[in-house]
């Protein structure tokens, strides 16, 4: 993950905004964006450069549209309700959970497309047994 054209001081609001911009432009993967954002969020808040609502808006702007929609549905974020936007940590944690869940679902779908791991092991064992039987007695091998 190479972050080009980012400000040198990482504890600034400009750095978080640039992270969100690069993530939205798909120059930075979503997991990397969330990890980097979480790392420097406390420093930016300690420096009192951002408020909770502004930080939430920057963070949500850096998420892909599908993840942003899922976060909005699970937390029910309403920009008119100020207290929800102050829960930056909750929004980040929910986003992280959704991204990991989506990745796991993609792996599961890929795995089920190929067959489960147990099925592959059983098929490999049966194939080896059939090959061994074919080597010993060619007439007894199962097709």
Cβ atoms within 10 Å, residue 134? 13
**129 part of a folded domain:** no
pLDDT digits (tens, 9 = 90+) for 32-51: 888 888 888 888 877 777 77
Q: How many domains in the chain?
A: 1
Q: Which residue range(s) make up the domain with 43?
A: 13-105
Residue 68 pLDDT greater than 80, yes or no = yes
**C-alpha closest to that of 58 among 3, 31, 94, 19:** 19
**101 part of a folded domain:** yes
Q: Tell me the pTM.
A: 0.59
pLDDT digits (tens, 9 = 90+) for 78-134: 666 666 556 788 888 888 888 888 887 777 766 665 555 656 666 677 677 777 766
**32 part of a folded domain:** yes
**54 part of a folded domain:** yes
């Amino acid at each position: 993950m190479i972050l080009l054209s980012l400000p040198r001081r990482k504890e600034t609001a400009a750095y978080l905004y640039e992270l969100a911009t690069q993530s939205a432009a798909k120059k930075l993967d979503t997991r990397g964006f969330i990890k980097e954002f979480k790392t420097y969020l406390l420093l930016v808040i300690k420096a009192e450069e951002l408020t909770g609502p502004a930080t939430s808006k920057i963070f949500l702007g850096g998420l892909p549209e599908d993840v942003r929609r899922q976060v909005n549905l699970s937390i029910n974020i309403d920009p008119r309700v100020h207290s929800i936007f102050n829960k930056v940590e909750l929004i980040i944690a929910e986003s992280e959970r959704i991204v990991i869940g989506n990745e796991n679902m993609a792996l599961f779908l890929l795995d089920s497309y190929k067959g489960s791991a147990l099925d592959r092991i059983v098929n490999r064992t049966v194939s080896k047994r059939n090959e061994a039987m074919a080597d010993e007695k060619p007439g007894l091998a199962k097709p």
